[in-house]
Every structure is written in structure tokens, then in C-alpha cells.
């Protein structure tokens, strides 16, 4: 436990003592705020236009503005994550290997699992810290809406973002453990992310094959969360995804001992 915490603490220090975390969070918040503003004003404009049309032609159609904005915003977050997480994970192991500090960790009384979990949870913490301020946009919007949308929509949405982000971080750290080169790690991670993303398009395949391929896509399960639904099969999917890649990373670190350095 002490060793795990030491690794976690060191990683957090690495993020927050250097400018990495601040640049990262700043850029992320700028982009997400810009798009939130855009979605909100577009949706309000659309709703008022429909209300005017309704006045002229009879019963106004119901427009769920906060619900629509939330769905669009969570969709945007997933896209931003796709671009941000490979940069976050590319150095996690590649940098340690290049600097030779992996040798220090592997000759200290720390197990591979403690190293991997410490690093994974640190990257997840940074991810959560990056995400947290965006909730203020949505909370503000919800408080000003009438009727107020249910809070579970907000909570389910963030649970979804965390699970999706956690899955991608697990996959990204695994890829980082395979190479000494950060750039290669980033490019491969991005390619892998795109692949697990577009598996959704496999839905064109017919029958059970199509259903299986569709189930494997990371983004498919995310949709439910953005609608305020927490589905157990989605939870199982994300937790197994994270566990699988954490396990593979542990094996990959362990295999370094057998490679010729």
C-alpha cells in the first residue's frame, strides 16, 4: 500500500509540478466552454424559433433545451477525450523506460501491479480534475431551467465520461508500456482509440456477429449514459475493458525483464 501510494504520489507530482497538467486542463476547459456556449445559444435560438412557429400554426412542440444541450455536450466531451488522452498517456511508461527510471522501480520492493495501478489511478485523477470544472456549466444551466432536468442525467453523464476516459487511459498506458518512444506511443494509441470507436460501424454486419462487434465498441455504451441511463451491461463492459488493459500492462512491464535492454 505504501509503495502504491508512493508511485501514485510521484505521478501526481509529475503532472502538477510541471506545466503538463495546467496546459492540459486549460486547453480542455477553453475548448469545452467554447462549444458549450455554442450548443446552448444554438439550441435556445432553435427553441424560440419553434415556439414562434407554434404560435402562428397552433400547439407549440415541446423542446427539451437542457436535455438536448447535455447530450450534445457529452458527445463533444467524448470527442475531446479521443484527442486528449493519447497525449496524457503517451509518456507514462515510454518516458520511464527512456530515462532508465524503470530500472529503479523494478529493483525496488514494489510489485508490477502496484506500479501499474499507481500510474493508472494518477492519470485517472488528472482526468477527473480536468473534467470537474465543466460540471459547473451544466449545473448552472440546470439551475436556470424550468422545469429543472433530473440530476441523475448529469450524474449518469459524468459517470459515462469517467468510464469512457478510464477505458481509454487503460488502453493508452498499455500501449505506452510497449515502446520507448513517446511519439510512437501517441500515434499508436490514437489509432487504437479510433479503432475501438468505429467498431460501432460494424453494426452493418448482420446477425450475431454484428451484435458482438457492436457490443465491443467503446462509444456505443456511452450513448446510454448521455441519456441518463446507467445500464449494467455497459458498466460490466467498461470495467472489464479497464481490468483487461491493466492486466496486460502488468504483463508487459513484467516481460521487460526478459527483453534485452
Chain positions contacting other proteins, by CB under 8 A: 2-3, 5-7, 9-10, 13-14, 17-18, 99-101, 103-111, 257-258, 260
Closest separation between CB of residue 19 and other proteins, Å?
10
Closest separation between CB of residue 87 and other proteins, Å?
17
Quote the distance between the C-alpha of residue 123 and its chain's center: 11
Cα 20 to Cα 12: distance, rounded to the nearest angstrom? 11
Using the minimum distance from each CB to other proteins, give the nearer residue, 32 or 173: 173
As a whole number of angstroms, the longest Cα–Cα distance in the chain is 77
What residue has cell string 501517441? Answer: 186
Closest separation between CB of residue 43 and other proteins, Å?
43
Using the minimum distance from each CB to other proteins, give the nearer residue, 5 or 30: 5
Using the minimum distance from each CB to other proteins, give the nearer residue, 110 or 155: 110
Q: What 8-state DSSP symbol labels residue 1?
A: -
Closest separation between CB of residue 181 and other proteins, Å?
17
Using the minimum distance from each CB to other proteins, give the nearer residue, 103 or 231: 103
User: CB under 8 Å to 59, separation ≥6 — which residues?
Assistant: none
| Burial class of residue 56 in the structure, from the number of CB atoms within 10 Å of its CB (0-12 exposed, 13-18 middle, 19+ buried) | exposed
Closest separation between CB of residue 102 and other proteins, Å?
8
Cα 36 to Cα 133: distance, rounded to the nearest angstrom? 13
Closest separation between CB of residue 8 and other proteins, Å?
10
User: CB under 8 Å to 115, separation ≥6 — which residues?
Assistant: 7, 105, 253
Using the minimum distance from each CB to other proteins, give the nearer residue, 96 or 200: 96
In degrees rounded to 5, what are phi and psi of residue 260?
A: -80, 115
Using the minimum distance from each CB to other proteins, give the nearer residue, 17 or 59: 17
Amino acid at each position: 500500500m505504501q509503495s502504491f501510494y508512493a508511485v501514485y504520489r510521484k505521478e501526481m507530482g509529475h503532472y502538477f509540478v510541471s506545466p503538463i497538467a495546467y496546459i492540459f486542463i486549460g486547453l480542455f476547459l477553453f475548448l469545452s466552454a467554447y462549444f458549450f456556449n455554442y450548443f446552448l445559444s444554438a439550441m435556445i435560438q432553435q427553441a424560440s424559433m419553434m415556439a414562434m412557429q407554434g404560435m402562428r400554426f397552433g400547439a407549440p412542440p415541446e423542446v427539451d433545451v437542457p436535455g438536448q444541450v447535455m447530450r450534445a455536450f457529452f458527445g463533444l466531451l467524448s470527442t475531446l477525450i479521443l484527442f486528449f488522452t493519447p497525449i496524457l498517456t503517451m509518456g507514462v511508461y515510454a518516458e520511464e523506460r527512456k530515462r532508465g527510471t524503470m530500472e529503479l522501480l523494478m529493483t525496488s520492493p514494489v510489485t508490477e501491479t502496484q506500479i501499474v495501478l499507481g500510474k493508472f489511478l494518477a492519470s485517472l485523477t488528472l482526468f477527473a480534475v480536468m473534467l470537474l470544472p465543466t460540471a459547473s456549466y451544466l449545473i448552472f444551466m440546470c439551475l436556470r431551467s424550468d422545469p429543472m432536468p433530473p440530476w441523475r442525467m448529469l450524474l449518469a453523464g459524468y459517470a459515462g465520461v469517467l468510464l469512457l476516459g478510464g477505458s481509454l487511459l487503460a488502453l493508452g498506458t498499455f500501449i505506452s508500456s510497449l515502446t520507448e518512444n513517446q511519439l510512437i506511443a501517441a500515434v499508436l494509441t490514437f489509432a487504437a482509440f479510433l479503432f475501438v470507436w468505429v467498431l460501432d460501424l460494424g453494426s452493418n454486419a448482420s446477425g450475431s456477429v454484428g451484435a458482438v462487434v457492436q457490443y465491443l465498441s467503446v462509444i456505443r455504451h456511452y450513448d446510454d449514459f448521455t441519456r441518463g441511463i446507467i445500464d449494467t451491461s455497459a458498466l460490466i463492459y467498461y470495467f472489464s475493458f479497464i481490468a483487461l488493459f491493466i492486466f496486460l500492462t502488468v504483463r508487459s512491464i513484467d516481460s521487460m525483464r526478459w527483453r534485452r535492454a
